[in-house]
Amino acid sequence: MPNEVKQYRYIENQLRKNFESWNYSEVRSPTIEFVETLSTGVGAELVDTMFKFQDFDGKLLALRAEMTAPVARIVTTRMPSAPEPIRLFYVNNVFRYSQSYLKREREFCQAGVELVCCNTPEADGEILALLISSLKQVGLKEVRIDLGYASLLKDLLNAAGLDKQQKASVMGLLACRDSVGLKKFMEKSSISSKLRDAFLQLSRCRRLDEVSSISLNGSKYDELNKQLKSLSELQETLVDYGIDDLVFFDFSLTKKIEYYTGIVFEASVPNLGLPLGGGGRYDNFIEKFGKLKLPATGFALEIGKLLQALTAQGSEIPDDPKPRVIVASKFRDTAVKAVKILREAGVIASLEITKRSLEKTIEYGKLTETDYVVSVGSSLKSPVTVYAVKSSASRDVMLESFLKELGGQR
Amino acid sequence: MNKKIRIAIPNKGRLKKPAIEALGRAGIEVLEEDRAYVSKTSDPRFEAIFARANDIPVYVQYGAVDLGVTGHDLIQERDANVLELLDLEFGKCTLVVAVPEDSTIKSVSEVPALARVATGFPNITRKFFEKLGKQVEVLEVSGTAELAPKLGLAQIIVDLTSTGETLKKNKLRIIGTVMESTTRLACNKIAYRNFEKQINELLARMRGGLE
């Protein structure tokens, strides 16, 4: 439907504009690639959702199910000597197969960015700030980001020396936000009190500055402390961007995609019960495509979800401010000339190509959100008749002065 | 944000009454139980929505409601990505595999390949047999699965039982358990983030009511 496409386009254009103003460059990747390429490092769960088929020689192909792997391939094979850091974005459709009869959607339009070759807190800060500014640029209100750390939970569970079953129960309790159950579990378990406190404190933390107050003594916790410290460094960056009050900590947040190594996050608005998109840091992913070890971070947004969220918030996609005009005439040569002049002046103009009466043309104009129907005679040297479609008023005026009036309206 | 928190409650069936009572004990009394799909509650921050228990997992997942009272079995069947915040402990039931009393099948391991299984829980059933490495044909029926063997539709059924009475009456014998289920308070993931304080307060009161 033209109207829906317009809404999609509007959102895409706003995002493009914003990504470009942050100095990101657009890339495109093939819709179809080898399964091997698309599935490198993304995890079995995502590979299962790919639409797969065979090439003429029997090689397995698939429709892309996400964009980070294709971008990683582009970076390693096509841009090997690009100056670092590399800032890239894409607006693409991705395809996911679902066995569930509930999830009917198979094609999604994603807009996303990847910031490659940098693992500073400034890089993570930039990605989060860009995410928030992009959502605001689209027109969304009350945006929030919830953020976890991919390996923090895993490393803590390992440090606590829990067996597989115990790990699963802790993850389950965290995922269900069962703080009472978690406390009971911790009290019963043999975990050291230091780690126990860290678990409970982290599960209660909602703000990044609360996380920074937690640390564990002892050299065996160096790796954990490093992760906690990096979160507090990120917090300081977010303060500088003025977005620290929009980013929340969520210890239990994990992602289905396997390649994340640092922060992982989701963006949402209160009016929509599903995340708008998300992303994270993936420092060991790109090397799987080549010899280069390139740290990277990025996010992807789903355009359809953004549109749903905008609708739920009651915001309308702004109308195109350009006036719309239909030119009707018995004299085709003059009409063609008039349409050309109008278009060159930035007006959306079309020619009446049916042989219907002027009243019928005005009727058509009413139904197609046209502002004016202009009837021209044999020469543009004489005045044209302008019918204002909404008010049904008409008057004779020279085409140039009509154009001037339109210019004033814009 | 000035939005009411919406709780979905089963509009009929065995879960409806205990669900309303559990909320009542937590200080949220449903005021217009019989008249409306959307009802005010005694707590102005909450609003009750009556919906089919089957549909509540999907309502919650997609954020059409923020919270929902529904069975763990239904959440699993709809594969709903929701938070199960609290086990309300009522509506206890077991999803079992059953065969006619005179069947030669004694346990699920004896279920023959390509057996037909009638059930109202096709997703759970399919996964259950897949895990066992059994290829079966799952036939979805809504409601009375216990009729299927009598009519020759299927040799095996997967159905809910709480006392075993209905199965006995229909001359069916349990040969295995698929899952145990109770009623849960399910929550939309994003709603939890936005209403964490209010929801935790409600949880504390509901836990109090359970003890």
Whether B9 and B113 share a structural domain: no
SS (H, E, C) A9-25: HHHHHHHHHHHHHCCCE
Contact A247, A238 (CB under 8 A): yes
> Cβ of B79 under 8 Å from any chain A Cβ?
yes
Contact A242, A136 (CB under 8 A): no
The per-residue pLDDT for range A343-385, each reduced to its tens digit, is: 999 899 999 999 899 999 999 999 988 999 999 999 889 899 9
Task: Name the segment(s) of chain A with CATH classification 3.30.930.10.
Answer: 2-312
The alpha carbon of residue B192 is apart from the nearest alpha carbon of chain A, in Å, by 9
Q: Number of structural domains, chain B?
A: 2
**Stretch (H or E) spanning B118:** strand B116-119
Q: How far apart are CA A405 and CA A188, in angstroms?
A: 80
CB contact under 8 A, A273 and B64: yes
**Among A102, A176, A273, whose Cβ lies nearest the Cβ of B79?**
A102
pTM: 0.84
Q: Which of A131, A151, A76, A167 is nearest to A278 (CA)?
A: A131
- Residue B200: pLDDT above 70? yes
DSSP of A193-208: HHHHHHHHHHHH--BH
User: What sign has the CA pseudo-torsion A314, A319, A321, A325?
Assistant: negative
Task: Name the segment(s) of chain A with CATH classification 3.40.50.800.
Answer: 324-409
Is B20 strand, coil or helix? helix
Give the pLDDT band (50/70/90) at residue A228.
confident
Whether B114 and B100 share a structural domain: yes
Find tokens 């406390």 and name the residue.
A183
CB contact under 8 A, A146 and B193: yes
| Bridge partner list, A88 | A25, A114
Report the pLDDT averaged over residues A2-28. Answer: 93
Whether B13 and B82 share a structural domain: yes
Which residue range forms the structural domain that includes residue B151?
A: 93-179
Query: B interface mutation test: which of A103, A169, A176 has the most B CBs within 10 A?
Result: A176
Domain with residue B59: its CATH number is 3.40.190.10
Q: Which of residues 175-194 of B touch A (CB under 8 A)?
A: 187-194
The per-residue pLDDT for range A305-323, each reduced to its tens digit, is: 999 999 989 888 877 778 9
Q: In angstroms, how far is the first alpha carbon of chain A from the final one?
A: 27
CB contact under 8 A, A248 and B193: yes
> Cβ of B137 under 8 Å from any chain A Cβ?
no
ipTM of the complex: 0.75
Q: Check residue B13 and give its pLDDT.
A: 84
Instruction: At B61, give phi and psi (nearest 5°).
Output: -60, -40
- Residue A151: pLDDT above 90? no
Q: Which residues of A touch B87 (CB under 8 A)?
A: none
Helix pair angle (A399-409, A332-344), 10° resolution = 30
The mean pLDDT value of chain B amounts to 89
Q: Which residues of A touch B62 (CB under 8 A)?
A: 273-274
In A117-200, the DSSP E strands lie at 144-149
> Cβ of A270 under 8 Å from any chain B Cβ?
yes
Helix pair angle (A164-175, A179-188), 10° resolution = 150
> Cβ of A268 under 8 Å from any chain B Cβ?
yes
Query: Taking the domain A2-312, which CATH number applies?
Result: 3.30.930.10
Instruction: At A377, give phi and psi (nearest 5°).
Output: -90, -150
Which tokens is B3 given? 């939005």
> Cβ of A184 under 8 Å from any chain B Cβ?
no
CB contact under 8 A, A273 and B194: no
Whether B10 and B84 share a structural domain: yes
The per-residue pLDDT for range B38-74, each reduced to its tens digit, is: 888 888 899 999 999 989 999 999 999 999 999 999 9
Kindly report the CA angle at B191 between B186 and B192, in degrees rounded to 5? 70
- Cβ atoms within 10 Å, residue B87: 15
Domain A324-409 falls under CATH 3.40.50.800? yes
Whether B115 and B138 share a structural domain: yes
Find tokens 């640092």 and name the residue.
A262
> Cβ of A206 under 8 Å from any chain B Cβ?
yes
Which residue type, as a one-letter code, is found at position A206?
R
> Cβ of B196 under 8 Å from any chain A Cβ?
yes
Residue of B nearest to A250 (CA): B193
| Bridge partner list, B49 | B8, B38
**Among B78, B83, B86, whose Cβ lies nearest the Cβ of A102?**
B78
Contact A148, A251 (CB under 8 A): yes
